[in-house]
């Protein structure tokens, strides 16, 4: 018998993950409420995500994927795709509001692509437009925003509250 001290995820999270995985493997899209602020401003806490089945070979930089991690499922953006010596792929993910990336994920951990978010009763596509150029410009803009946030955090750590610029 396992105790809560030895399990990595609560039973409800395990049940959710199993149900979502089964539906996606059957070729069905899923809709569920997102929790957390790591993908702000793209996805706000409490909004609904629509996730479609994927072939990991079709995932590119900038896509938002549903990934199974030790902590449970997360929906984060692919910022880098690494090719290992054995030709397998590792996907480096991060939340749009995160300052650090997640641990790289193997293709087998990817469950689906987040294709839309429901905001204000309307479904908004999260598909990146503009082909390779559009993806590149979008990712550069995100990386610049992320770098600026890191710089602000470092500056704030160096300055006392009375010295911080407004």
Per DSSP, helices labelled H in 26-163 are: 131-158
- For residue 51, what is the enclosing H or E element? strand 48-52
CB 47 within 8 A of CB 118: yes
CB 113 within 8 A of CB 95: no
Q: Are 20 and 76 in the same domain?
A: yes
Q: pLDDT, tens digit, for every residue of 12-23?
A: 778 888 999 999
| Average pLDDT for the chain | 86
Residue 7: per-residue pLDDT: 44
pLDDT at 99 over 90: no
User: What does the block give as tokens for 54?
Assistant: 């994927």
Domain of residue 99, CATH code: 2.10.109.10
Q: Are 121 and 133 in the same domain?
A: no
Q: Are 90 and 137 in the same domain?
A: no
Nearest to 130 by CA among 60, 49, 79: 60
Establish if 3 belongs to a structural domain: no
Q: Are 133 and 117 in the same domain?
A: no
Domain housing 66: 11-126
CA–CA separation, 82 and 90 (whole Å)? 5
Q: Are 94 and 149 in the same domain?
A: no
**Pairing assessment for the beta strands 122-125 and 72-83 based on DSSP bridges:** unpaired
Mean pLDDT of 49-67: 94
Other Cβ atoms closer than 10 A to 82? 10
Gyration radius of the chain over CA positions:
18
Q: How many domains does the chain have?
A: 2
Largest pairwise CA distance in the chain: 57
Establish if 71 belongs to a structural domain: yes
**Distance (Å) of CA 68 to CA 45, 72, 89, 120, 165:** 19, 6, 16, 28, 41
Q: Are 143 and 118 in the same domain?
A: no
pTM: 0.78
Q: Are 16 and 85 in the same domain?
A: yes
Which of 65-69, 95-99, 149-153: highest mean pLDDT? 65-69
pLDDT at 147 over 50: yes
- For residue 68, what is the enclosing H or E element? strand 64-69
User: What does the block give as tokens for 89?
Assistant: 């792929």
């Amino acid at each position: 018998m396992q105790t809560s001290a030895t399990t990595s995820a609560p039973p409800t999270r395990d049940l959710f993950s199993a149900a979502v995985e089964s539906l996606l493997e059957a070729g069905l899209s899923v809709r569920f409420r997102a929790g957390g602020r790591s993908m702000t401003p793209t996805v706000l806490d409490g909004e609904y995500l629509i996730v479609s089945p994927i072939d990991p070979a079709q995932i590119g930089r900038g896509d938002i994927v549903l990934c199974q991690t030790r902590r449970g499922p997360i929906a984060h953006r692919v910022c880098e795709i690494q090719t290992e010596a054995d030709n397998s792929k590792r996907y480096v993910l991060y939340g749009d509001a995160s300052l650090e990336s997640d641990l790289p994920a193997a293709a087998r951990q990817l469950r689906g692509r987040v294709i839309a978010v429901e905001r204000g009763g309307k479904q908004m596509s999260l598909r990146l437009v503009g082909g390779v150029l559009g993806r590149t410009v979008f990712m550069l803009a995100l990386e610049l925003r992320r770098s600026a946030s890191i710089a602000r955090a470092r500056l704030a750590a160096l300055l006392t509250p009375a010295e911080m610029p407004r």
